[in-house]
Amino acid sequence: MRQAMTWMRAAGLAGLLASGLAMSGLPASAQAPAPETRPAPSAGPNAGVAPAAGPVPNVGPGPAANGRPAANGDVWPGHAMTDEEAAAAGRARLPFTTGQIELLGRLLQQTQAATARARGAEPRGRVRKVRLDPLGPEAVQEVAVRAGYVTSVGFYDRTGAPWPIAALAVDERFAPSRREGQDHLVHFSPAARWLGGNASVMLEGFAEPVVLLLGEREGVADFRVDLRLAAAGPNADPLALAGVAGFHAGSDVLLGLLSGEAPAGAAPLDVAGVEGRAWRLGDEVLLVTRAHLLSPGPRAAERDPAGRWAYRLPDVPYAMVSQGGRELRAAFLDRTEIPQPNREN
């Protein structure tokens, strides 16, 4: 009985192995032969006595395809492509020789060099600081941008403090960008050559937009442009507004000027470029105006409730002032006495 079960197990194992090989597409010659079927022993006088165990049948792989013996029982060599077929497949996927690859590399380098020459000479980079009057005749500032380069434009007030940008309108082709913590800066990096357009920049607390003309310029590119407006921004330093060291307020001379009384010995001057009155007293110029003085720094200043300023300045031919967001030049001119004709009584 035990020998019969052993033969049945061997037959089942051989059948499973043959089914698996058949599903994998291997030819029948590569499949293992089925074990020899022996009839179960019949009941005889020795029934109930277990027969001696015979040899276990060989269920390993048989001879490989084409009659070639399989090495170590491996059936794959009989189905692998030949060396010639492997070489053809490799040639289809890698069609170039080493020399041909080197030639293609040299052609690529030559093409890149020719493309660089076609772009022209590298531009001359520049960094500029510009005083800007948004309402003046030259209110539109030109900025030279170029593909492949980043141009940074910063905005500052008359004290040099950064002036934050509230809003920006510009063509997206100029690729504008801003960085956190740098509210006064905008960066332009156009991706194409010979673009033209403008940018409109609104600054915090400033009523008028600052307009920039953007475009490529022959032979030059702006790497950085600092625009300084003739007005005090939201981050203006009060000490810088007061002027240079040595400034003081409460001068009796200045209070007298605001009251309409010029000091003794002061020679009146004509003022051009801004509304105001001026006198020369010794080595100083006395100025009364509603404009804010930019330079030179005043030696003293006083302001009345009506908004007029009285300044003591060094003896200079002109001063830069700010009024209504515009930077103006106030020139001090000596008065020329015009002789009057004698009248006969």
pLDDT band at 170 (very low <50, low <70, confident <90, very high): very high
Q: Is 189 helix (H, G, I), strand (E, B) or coil?
A: coil
Select the highest-mean-pLDDT range: 46-55, 114-123, 278-287: 278-287
Mind listing the pLDDT tens digit for each residue in 258-286?
888 888 889 999 999 999 999 999 888 99
Confidence (pLDDT) at 49: 46
| Per-residue CA distances from 335 to 2, 269, 320 (Å) | 140, 6, 21
Number of Cβ atoms within 10 Å of the Cβ of 195: 17
Can you say whether the dihedral through the CA atoms of 47, 48, 52, 54 is positive or negative? positive
Tell how strand 196-203 and strand 292-295 pair up. unpaired
Confidence (pLDDT) at 185: 97
Mind listing the pLDDT tens digit for each residue in 125-136?
999 988 887 766
Q: Determine the Cα–Cα distance for residues 244 and 230; give it in Å rounded to an integer.
A: 17
Percent of all residues in the chain with a pLDDT value above 90, rounded to a whole number: 33
Residue scoring higher pLDDT (54 or 302) = 302
When mean pLDDT is compared across 29-33, 323-327, 330-334, the lowest value belongs to 29-33
Confidence (pLDDT) at 338: 42
Q: List, in order, residues 6 or more apart from 125 with CB less than 8 Å away.
A: 149, 220, 221, 222, 223
Residue bearing tokens 């400033």: 206
Percent of all residues in the chain with a pLDDT value above 70, rounded to a whole number: 69
* DSSP class per residue in 248-277: B---HHHHHHHTT-PPTTPEEEEEESSSEE
Confidence (pLDDT) at 278: 94
Domains and CATH numbers, the chain: 2-80 (no CATH), 124-229 (2.60.40), 243-334 (no CATH)
Mind listing the pLDDT tens digit for each residue in 187-243?
999 989 889 999 999 999 998 899 999 999 989 999 999 998 878 889 886 655 554
Structure tokens at 174: 């100029």
Burial class (CB in 10 A: 0-12, 13-18, 19+), 277: middle
pTM score, whole prediction: 0.47
Q: Determine the Cα–Cα distance for residues 15 and 27; give it in Å rounded to an integer.
A: 15
Q: What is the biggest distance separating any 2 CA atoms in the chain, rounded to whole angstroms?
A: 184
Q: Is 160 left (phi over 0), alpha (psi -120 to 50) or beta?
A: left
